[in-house]
Amino acid sequence: MRLDKYIAESSSDTRKVIRNYIKEGNVTVNDRLILDPAAEINENCDTIKCLGKVMKHPGKMYYMFHKPGGCITATKDESSLTVLDYFNVSNGSGLFPVGRLDKDTEGLLLVTNDGEFCHRLMDPSKKVEKTYYFWAFGSLDQKKKEQLQEGVMIGVNEELAKAESIIVDEEGKYLDLKNKMNFESVKGIKINPNYQPVTSGYITITEGRKHQVKRMLKSVGCYIVYLKRISIGSLVLDETLKKGEYRELTTEELKSLY
């Protein structure tokens, strides 16, 4: 690992401050002065001191985050709140979100500093199931559910996108179900929405293409207005976490993802 990265992940200072510490001769590796922030160190056996203090790396970190709508799946942004704005860590912590949820999507997001863990979960060949709860304008009859499971076209030159499973939870008219829909305004719908059919349900997919669930449902005439990820593999969102809260994964939860 790079020397500046190791120190950033072990302290509350920014990478920029740390680079200056290194260049100004405040950092030693095994008691040897090192002036190059990009120097490679062995995090398992080297002793790194910054300003005379031994830097202890926190090791691998794995968190479950209940992503609220309005938060973007990034580590920094000029105009919107990002996932890391909800975390009580320094900006050099090395934490990053695993995969991506749209800005308006809520629910389970993993946050880690372990790149290998992230790659494994994101690798489409590993077929890790992700389940989403949705509300949509439109109806989902048996034929549409079969189409979704057989594979639908969601973009030019894209492979068919398939649902592993699709379960309808509630269906009816907007007028009768709007109080349950978790959805505040009907934008862009020109006709009176009250008598339009709405459907809620659960869809499971194993890939993570951009806006995949929204595009899949759109291909069968359903327009998602609320989307929440509730599980990844066998890991289910801990509903005691309020939106915007996070907690460490337990050892069992972590094992279940491997």
Binding site for ligand URA (CB under 6 A): 101-102, 105, 211-214, 227
CA distances in angstroms from 142 to 36, 154, 155, 220, listed in the order given: 63, 20, 23, 11
Cα→Cα distances 204→83, 134, 141, Å: 24, 11, 17
Nearest approach, Cβ of residue 135 and ligand URA (Å):
13
Which of 211/243 has CB closer to ligand URA? 211
Q: With respect to ligand URA, which residue has the nearer C-beta, 10 or 212?
A: 212
Residue whose pair of structure tokens reads 């649902």 in the numeric block: 163
Tokens (6 digits) for 92: 């050099």
DSSP letter at 2? B
Give me the least distance between CB of 104 and ligand URA, in Å please.
8
The catalytically annotated residue of 85, 102, 104, 114 is 102
**Which among 2, 7, 94, 12 has a CA at the least distance from the CA of 50?**
7
Q: How far is the CB of 132 from ligand URA (least distance, A)?
A: 6
Residue 169 annotated to the active site: no
Please list the active-site residues. Answer: 102
